[in-house]
Structure 1
Amino acid sequence: MNQELLTNARVRMANDRPVNTRGEYVLYWPQMFRRLHANHALDCALRLAAEYKKPLVVYEGLKLNYPWANARHHTFILQGMRDNAGAAKKLGVAYWPFVETPGDNGHGLVNRLAAHAVCVVTDDYPAYIVPAHNRALAAKSAVPVILVDGNSVVPLARLGAPVAAAAHLRPRIHKLFAEEWLHRAAHIPDVPKVAKSKLDPPFRAWNPKQDIAKFVASLPIDQSIASVPGAEGGSVAGRAVLETFVNEKLSNYAEGRNEPNDPAHNAASGLSPYLHYGHLSIQEVAEAALGEEWSVKEINPKTRNKDDFFCRDANVNSFLDEAITWRDVGYHWHFARNSARDTNRESSLNVSWCAHPTTDMPLFNFETMDFSPGGERTLDVVLPTWARTTLGKHERDRREYLYDLEELEAAATHDNLWNAAQRELIATGRIHNYLRMLWGKKVLEWSESPAVAYCVLEHLNNKYALDGRDPNSYTGVLWCFGLFDRPWPPERPVFGSVRYMSSGNTAKKFDLDGYYEYVERVAPRS
Structure 2
Amino acid sequence: MPQSSVSPDRIRVLNQPATGLTSPGPVIYWMSREIRSRDNWALIHAQNVALRSKRPLLVVYNLAVGYLGGGLRQHAFKVGGLKVVAANLSQLNIPFAIETSPKFPALLADITERVGCKYVVTDFTPLRLNKEWVAAFTKHAKRLDIRFELVDAHNVVPCWVTSDKMERAAVTIRPKLWHHFDEFCTKYPRLKRHAYTISDDVHFHTVTTSEIEALLTNDEIVGKLDKAVEPIDWLTPGEDAGLQLALGYVKNLPNYSTQRNNPTNPIQSDLSPYFHYGFVSPQRVIYDAYNSTDINEEDRDEFIEQCMIRRELADNFCYYNDNYDKFEGFPDWGQHTLREHAKDDREYLYSLEQLENADTHDRLWNATQRQMVETGKIHGYMRMYWCKKILEWTKSPEEALEFSIYLNDKYELDGRDPNGYVGIAWCIGGRHDRPFGERNVYGVIRYMSYNGCRGKFDINKYMKMAGSVEGHRAGKMWAAAIQQSVGEQEGFWESLSEEERRLKGR
AA in 1 matched with 2:376: G
Instruction: Indicate the residue corresponding to 1:87 in structure 2.
Output: 88
Q: Report deviation, 1:518.
A: 1.9
Instruction: Indicate the residue corresponding to 1:190 in structure 2.
Output: 192
Instruction: Indicate the residue corresponding to 2:502 in structure 1.
Output: none
Instruction: Indicate the residue corresponding to 1:114 in structure 2.
Output: 112
AA in 1 matched with 2:377: R
State whether residues 61 and 99 of structure 1, in contact with CA within 8 Å, keep that contact through their aligned partners in structure 2: yes
User: Distance between the aligned counterparts of 2:171 and 2:77, measured in 1?
Assistant: 34
**2:94 matches 1:146:** no
User: Distance between the aligned counterparts of 2:310 and 2:404, measured in 1?
Assistant: 20
**2:347 matches 1:363:** no
Given the alignment, which residue of 313, 323, 338 partners 2:297?
313
State whether residues 81 and 279 of structure 2, in contact with CA within 8 Å, keep that contact through their aligned partners in structure 1: yes
Q: Report deviation, 1:270.
A: 0.3
**1:335-362 Cα shifts (integer Å, max 9, x gaps):** 2x2xxxxxxxxxxxxxxxxxxxxxxxx4
Distance 1:425 1:23, change over 3 A: farther
Q: Report deviation, 1:202.
A: 3.8
SS in 2 for 1:59: strand
**1:342-392 Cα shifts (integer Å, max 9, x gaps):** xxxxxxxxxxxxxxxxxxxx425xxxxx75xxxxxx21x212121111111
Superposition pairs of residues 100-499 of structure 1, within 5 angstroms: 108-115=106-113, 116-127=116-127, 129-141=129-141, 142=144, 143-160=146-163, 161-182=165-186, 184-186=187-189, 188-191=190-193, 193-194=195-196, 196=197, 202=203, 206-209=207-210, 212=213, 215-216=216-217, 218=219, 219-220=222-223, 221-247=225-251, 250-261=253-264, 265-291=265-291, 313-335=297-319, 337=320, 362-364=321-323, 378-379=326-327, 381-480=328-427, 481-489=429-437, 491-499=438-446
User: Distance between the aligned counterparts of 2:434 and 2:65, measured in 1?
Assistant: 40
SS in 2 for 1:129: helix
User: Distance between the aligned counterparts of 2:386 and 2:135, measured in 1?
Assistant: 35
User: Distance between the aligned counterparts of 1:510 and 1:120, measured in 2?
Assistant: 51
Q: Report deviation, 1:5.
A: 8.5
Larger relative contact order (CA 8 Å, sep ≥ 6): 2
User: Distance between the aligned counterparts of 1:496 and 1:69, measured in 2?
Assistant: 33
Distance 1:6 1:246, change over 3 A: closer
* Structure 1 stretches of at least 4 aligned residues deviating more than 6 Å after TM superposition: 4-7, 104-107, 198-201
Q: Report deviation, 1:413.
A: 0.8
Q: Report deviation, 1:51.
A: 2.9
Instruction: Indicate the residue corresponding to 2:69 in structure 1.
Output: 68
Which has a greater percent of helix?
Answer: 2
**1:120-139 Cα shifts (integer Å, max 9, x gaps):** 10012112521111001111
User: Distance between the aligned counterparts of 1:171 and 1:318, measured in 2?
Assistant: 15
User: Distance between the aligned counterparts of 1:29 and 1:79, measured in 2?
Assistant: 19
Q: Report deviation, 1:199.
A: 6.7
User: Distance between the aligned counterparts of 1:180 and 1:471, measured in 2?
Assistant: 21
Q: Report deviation, 1:201.
A: 7.9
Distance 1:97 1:292, change over 3 A: farther
Cα-Cα RMSD: 2.7
SS in 2 for 1:12: strand
State whether residues 374 and 468 of structure 2, in contact with CA within 8 Å, keep that contact through their aligned partners in structure 1: no
User: Distance between the aligned counterparts of 2:104 and 2:15, measured in 1?
Assistant: 24
State whether residues 66 and 75 of structure 2, in contact with CA within 8 Å, keep that contact through their aligned partners in structure 1: no
Q: Report deviation, 1:217.
A: 6.7
Instruction: Indicate the residue corresponding to 1:33 in structure 2.
Output: 34
**1:36-95 Cα shifts (integer Å, max 9, x gaps):** 111110111012112322100011221325221311111111111111111112212112
User: Distance between the aligned counterparts of 2:411 and 2:241, measured in 1?
Assistant: 20
Normalising by structure 2, report the TM-score.
Answer: 0.84
Q: Report deviation, 1:107.
A: 8.7
| Unaligned segments of structure 2, at least 5 residues | 472-506
**1:184-217 Cα shifts (integer Å, max 9, x gaps):** 542x2135523x5587984665432468488347
AA in 1 matched with 2:237: G
SS in 2 for 1:117: coil
Q: Report deviation, 1:467.
A: 0.8
User: Distance between the aligned counterparts of 1:198 and 1:23, measured in 2?
Assistant: 11
User: Distance between the aligned counterparts of 1:506 and 1:200, measured in 2?
Assistant: 65
User: Distance between the aligned counterparts of 2:470 and 2:362, measured in 1?
Assistant: 16
Distance 1:12 1:36, change over 3 A: same
**1:141-175 Cα shifts (integer Å, max 9, x gaps):** 32122100112111111212322110111111111
Total equivalences in the alignment: 457
AA in 1 matched with 2:236: E
Instruction: Indicate the residue corresponding to 1:340 in structure 2.
Output: none
State whether residues 95 and 206 of structure 2, in contact with CA within 8 Å, keep that contact through their aligned partners in structure 1: no
User: Distance between the aligned counterparts of 2:211 and 2:61, measured in 1?
Assistant: 17
State whether residues 20 and 117 of structure 1, in contact with CA within 8 Å, keep that contact through their aligned partners in structure 2: no
State whether residues 96 and 206 of structure 2, in contact with CA within 8 Å, keep that contact through their aligned partners in structure 1: no
State whether residues 138 and 144 of structure 1, in contact with CA within 8 Å, keep that contact through their aligned partners in structure 2: no
User: Distance between the aligned counterparts of 1:23 and 1:56, measured in 2?
Assistant: 12
AA in 2 matched with 1:45: A
AA in 2 matched with 1:237: A
Identity of aligned residues (%): 32
State whether residues 74 and 216 of structure 1, in contact with CA within 8 Å, keep that contact through their aligned partners in structure 2: no
User: Distance between the aligned counterparts of 2:217 and 2:342, measured in 1?
Assistant: 43
